[in-house]
Chains A and B, each alone.
Chain A
Amino acid sequence: MSILKRIKPAFWDHQDLISGPHKALFNFRRIWYATVLLTSAVVLLPLITMAVIDYKVTQHNIESAILLRTARLVSNTQRTISFFLDERRAALRFIEQDNTCEELKDPERLTSLLEHLKKGVGGFVDLGIIEFSGLHVNYAGPYNLQGVNYSRQQWFKEVMERGVYTSDVFLGFRRTPHLVVAIRHDLPEGPCYVLRASLDMEKFNDLLSNLEMAGRGDAFLINREGLLQTPSLYHGKVFEKVSLPVPEYAPRTRVLEWKNASGLPLIIGYRYIADTPFILMVVKQKEVLMKPWYETRIELIGFLLASITIVLIVILGGGTYLVNRIYLADQRRVMILHEVEYSNKMASIGRLAAGVAHEINNPLAIINEKAGLIKDLLSLKEGFADKEQLLDPINSILASVERCGRITRRLLGFARHMDVSIQTVNLGDIVQGVLDFLDKEAEYRSIAVSVDIPGDLPAIESDRGKLQQIFLNLINNAFAAMEDNGHLAITAKTEGRDFVSITVADDGCGIPENDLKRIFEPFFSTKIGSGGTGLGLSITYGLVQELGGKISVQSEVGKGTSFTITLPLKQEQKER
């Protein structure tokens, strides 16, 4: 709160205490709001919009790039696998075409063919001939499968029907995962036998596991039931049901986004491999792929936030500074208006006083002379009976005229020095002159005024009118602060060689410490609503400054206040 109070600009709580012709020109708080909000909107809206658009475009691009890369990988891998299987099938077709039925039923011939296949093409484990009836008539390979009857097995039925068959991976009779490729040999008169070969899964797995993939990628095959055909890193073992749904059939490569059971977003690329039961799947973790983007994103957002902060600080600071300058300028304008008005008022009063004094002085002079004449005539006449009775009133007329003369002279003396003029003045005389004006008030209110100005106080070079105004203001204020029967003490002394100080001390109500700092501010008044303009002390302050002096105040609530004015003995040349 106190920090807020400290940084709060002066105009924030500005209120026009004196409404009237000098009202402030502006509503500062509204100017501040308008400036800050408008500038912020104009600067921040485009900035944020640009940032958001850039964010979206970049994110979209990165995502598209990831999807595209995945799709390409799937396509390439699919081509490799298809080619691998096609190659094996072509080799079998070649054997089937190149050999007669009899040759193939020869075990030695079959063994040598298997040897040739292993050397020439690779990936073959065994080779077998199955008769039309389903009987395994000839077999070359590590297992003893001769004589096994396949007639009831699904794959056999299928190869008899379609001519070519590629099986799922299965354990079969030999208890190791393998896959079978079979082709039917057709004679003109009908099917004759089936050439069957099992393929090594290791070679097959190598194809997939050697893929280099970013983003914790995983490439594997599943069959159409969703059983894993090759081992996967994260989605189950061979023959287990894959932890992902089987994607719907599509003739081309497709990439889709998915969330796994724990909500982790995945990117799945898949392709149905033609003429096989296999579906190639490539699964990547989106988070890992997007990681560089996330890092960039943090930088982007951080930069945006920093920019916004700096922009706001600059706008707030600049706006506040500018509005504060306007406020100060306006305050000064109002202050000067008031000062001009005040000095005009003083000048008018001065002229009025001078005019009145002048107009009264002439009749007074006549009264004086007439009364004097009567007195003269009386004193010439000897033995006039009622002489004493007449002399008495005449003397009192003359005394009254003298008193009136003193008053008008004082008025004139006060009004005389309205213009700025530096002259040698005696502070004691000025203080006494001002006090003469306030004599009556002091008397009515039983205020004891003590003046202690040493007779040897040097005369100073200063402006009489301004000094009068200063003392009048200070003494008036002191009177206002005091109860009846108060004490006012005016003391003066020299300060060093070049200054004199005068202290006006009262024993009135005092000024609270909070107000003490502000009493010289214009429009600060505790007399609001009772005729105070809050300008007296601020004008006094201005006057003292004009005379090259300083004014200070000490006060204690309940004990009284003392104002001390320090004035230079000599006026420095005015730089005008």
Chain B
Amino acid sequence: MKTRVLIVDDEEEFVNALSKRLRIRDYDVTTSLSGEEALEKMKHYLFDVVILDVAMPGMSGIETLREIKKIKPLTEVIMLTGHATVESAIEGMKLGAFDYLLKPCETDDLIAKINLAYNRKAEHEERIREAKVRQILASPRTVLEDE
């Protein structure tokens, strides 16, 4: 299964180019040009990794991140910033972002980070599944309760 990536950035050209490059590298890429649009899409589709620009008009990267973590806490977020303020990076990490990258970034770096983030998410989901399995084994009735 392809890794599902959502790119959120207000620079359309950047989003287009990056999405094409990632598709070439065999990722399932969705794009959105604002935080609001991204949240809307996240409600309907599942994504593994979100690449999120910090500085955007309208809903800022940090606010978007906060919302993403509310609706899909397991989705990993990589912050992308042209403004290398340590403060916003730290804040992002505190809010649960996986990592951050400075623009312009090396494509290889970005891909490596996407893969790491995906792996973590996968591991995380795996552990949750295992826990559920253990729970079901211990008390099979919970399957009924859960659904």
Does the CB pair A370–B17 fall under 8 Å?
Answer: yes
Does the CB pair B84–A370 fall under 8 Å?
Answer: no
In the bound complex, CA of A209 to CA of B118 (Å) = 141
Instruction: Report how many residues on chain A are interfacial, defined by Cβ distance under 8 Å.
Output: 26
B11 at the interface (CB under 8 A from A): yes
B18 at the interface (CB under 8 A from A): yes
Specify which chain A residues have a CB less than 8 angstroms from the CB of B129 in the assembled complex: none
Chain A, 137-163, CB within 8 A of any chain B CB: none
Q: Could you mark each residue 360-383 of chain A with 1 if its beta carbon is under 8 Å from any beta carbon of chain B, else 0?
A: 011011111110110011001000
Selecting from A54-62, A295-303, A405-413, A518-526, the interface stretch reads A405-413
Does the CB pair B82–A358 fall under 8 Å?
Answer: yes
Does the CB pair A362–B17 fall under 8 Å?
Answer: no
Specify which chain A residues have a CB less than 8 angstroms from the CB of B17 in the assembled complex: 366, 369-370, 372-373
In the bound complex, CA of A413 to CA of B85 (Å) = 9
A224 at the interface (CB under 8 A from B): no
Selecting from B39-47, B58-66, B98-106, the interface stretch reads B98-106
Specify which chain A residues have a CB less than 8 angstroms from the CB of B13 in the assembled complex: 366, 369-370
Q: Which residues of B contact A (CB under 8 A)?
A: 11, 13-14, 17-18, 20-21, 24-25, 55, 82-86, 102-107
Give B54 Cβ to nearest chain A Cβ, in Å. Answer: 10
Max chain A C-beta neighbours (<10 A), residue from B14, B24, B85, B104: B104
Does the CB pair B82–A372 fall under 8 Å?
Answer: no
Q: Could you mark each residue 370-404 of chain A with 1 if its beta carbon is under 8 Å from any beta carbon of chain B, else 0?
A: 10110011001000000000000000000001101
CB-CB nearest in chain B for A379: B24
Specify which chain B residues have a CB less than 8 angstroms from the CB of A402 in the assembled complex: 104, 106
Given A412-B83, A412-B84, A416-B85, A364:B103 Cβ within 8 A: yes
Does the CB pair B84–A413 fall under 8 Å?
Answer: yes
- Given A365-B104, A412-B84, 14 more pairs with CB closer than 8 A: A354-B85, A358-B82, A358-B83, A361-B82, A361-B83, A365-B11, A365-B82, A369-B14, A372-B17, A373-B20, A405-B103, A409-B102, A413-B84, A416-B84
Given A370-B13, A370-B17, A376-B21, A365:B86 Cβ within 8 A: no
Does the CB pair B24–A380 fall under 8 Å?
Answer: yes
Which residue of B25, B84, B85, B103 contacts A365 across the interface (Cβ within 8 Å)? Answer: B103
Specify which chain B residues have a CB less than 8 angstroms from the CB of A354 in the assembled complex: 83, 85
Does the CB pair A369–B83 fall under 8 Å?
Answer: no
CB-CB nearest in chain A for B15: A369
Max chain B C-beta neighbours (<10 A), residue from A366, A369, A373: A369
Which residue of A362, A372, A376, A377 contacts B11 across the interface (Cβ within 8 Å)? Answer: A362
Give A324 Cβ to nearest chain B Cβ, in Å. Answer: 46
Given A358-B83, A362-B11, A409-B84, A367:B55 Cβ within 8 A: no
Does the CB pair B24–A376 fall under 8 Å?
Answer: yes
In the bound complex, CA of A409 to CA of B14 (Å) = 19
Does the CB pair A416–B14 fall under 8 Å?
Answer: no
Specify which chain A residues have a CB less than 8 angstroms from the CB of B25 in the assembled complex: 376
Give B35 Cβ to nearest chain A Cβ, in Å. Answer: 17
CB-CB nearest in chain B for A377: B24
Give A357 Cβ to nearest chain B Cβ, in Å. Answer: 8
Which residue of A358, A364, A369 contacts B21 across the interface (Cβ within 8 Å)? Answer: A369
In the bound complex, CA of A107 to CA of B82 (Å) = 160
Specify which chain B residues have a CB less than 8 angstroms from the CB of A361 in the assembled complex: 82-83, 102-104
Does the CB pair B11–A373 fall under 8 Å?
Answer: no
Which residue of B11, B55, B102 contacts A366 across the interface (Cβ within 8 Å)? Answer: B11
Q: Could you mark each residue 172-189 of chain A with 1 if its beta carbon is under 8 Å from any beta carbon of chain B, else 0?
A: 000000000000000000
CB-CB nearest in chain B for A354: B83
Give B44 Cβ to nearest chain A Cβ, in Å. Answer: 27
Does the CB pair A362–B14 fall under 8 Å?
Answer: yes
Specify which chain A residues have a CB less than 8 angstroms from the CB of B11 in the assembled complex: 362, 365-366
Give B110 Cβ to nearest chain A Cβ, in Å. Answer: 10
Max chain A C-beta neighbours (<10 A), residue from B11, B25, B83, B86: B83
Residue contacts A-B, CB under 8 angstroms, 27 given: A354-B83, A357-B82, A357-B83, A358-B83, A359-B82, A361-B82, A361-B103, A361-B104, A362-B14, A364-B104, A365-B11, A365-B82, A365-B103, A365-B104, A366-B11, A369-B18, A369-B21, A369-B104, A369-B107, A370-B13, A372-B17, A376-B21, A377-B24, A401-B104, A402-B104, A404-B104, A416-B86
Specify which chain B residues have a CB less than 8 angstroms from the CB of A358 in the assembled complex: 55, 82-83
In the bound complex, CA of A368 to CA of B108 (Å) = 12
In the bound complex, CA of A131 to CA of B14 (Å) = 169
Specify which chain B residues have a CB less than 8 angstroms from the CB of A359 in the assembled complex: 82
In the bound complex, CA of A370 to CA of B20 (Å) = 9
In the bound complex, CA of A401 to CA of B55 (Å) = 21
In the bound complex, CA of A377 to CA of B25 (Å) = 11
Give A359 Cβ to nearest chain B Cβ, in Å. Answer: 8
Specify which chain A residues have a CB less than 8 angstroms from the CB of B55 in the assembled complex: 358
Specify which chain B residues have a CB less than 8 angstroms from the CB of A404 in the assembled complex: 104
In the bound complex, CA of A401 to CA of B106 (Å) = 10
Give B81 Cβ to nearest chain A Cβ, in Å. Answer: 8
Specify which chain A residues have a CB less than 8 angstroms from the CB of B21 in the assembled complex: 369, 372-373, 376
Which residue of A373, A377, A405 contacts B104 across the interface (Cβ within 8 Å)? Answer: A405
Specify which chain A residues have a CB less than 8 angstroms from the CB of B83 in the assembled complex: 354, 357-358, 361, 412
Does the CB pair A362–B82 fall under 8 Å?
Answer: yes
In the bound complex, CA of A373 to CA of B20 (Å) = 7
Specify which chain A residues have a CB less than 8 angstroms from the CB of B82 in the assembled complex: 357-359, 361-362, 365
Specify which chain A residues have a CB less than 8 angstroms from the CB of B14 in the assembled complex: 362, 365-366, 369
Does the CB pair A372–B107 fall under 8 Å?
Answer: yes
Specify which chain A residues have a CB less than 8 angstroms from the CB of B86 in the assembled complex: 416
Give B146 Cβ to nearest chain A Cβ, in Å. Answer: 43
CB-CB nearest in chain A for B102: A409
In the bound complex, CA of A376 to CA of B26 (Å) = 12
CB-CB nearest in chain B for A380: B24
CB-CB nearest in chain B for A421: B86
Specify which chain A residues have a CB less than 8 angstroms from the CB of B106 in the assembled complex: 402
Specify which chain A residues have a CB less than 8 angstroms from the CB of B24 in the assembled complex: 373, 376-377, 380
Specify which chain B residues have a CB less than 8 angstroms from the CB of A370 in the assembled complex: 13, 17
In the bound complex, CA of A357 to CA of B105 (Å) = 14
In the bound complex, CA of A405 to CA of B105 (Å) = 8
Specify which chain B residues have a CB less than 8 angstroms from the CB of A377 in the assembled complex: 24
Give B31 Cβ to nearest chain A Cβ, in Å. Answer: 12
Give A418 Cβ to nearest chain B Cβ, in Å. Answer: 11
In the bound complex, CA of A509 to CA of B18 (Å) = 55
Does the CB pair A362–B103 fall under 8 Å?
Answer: yes
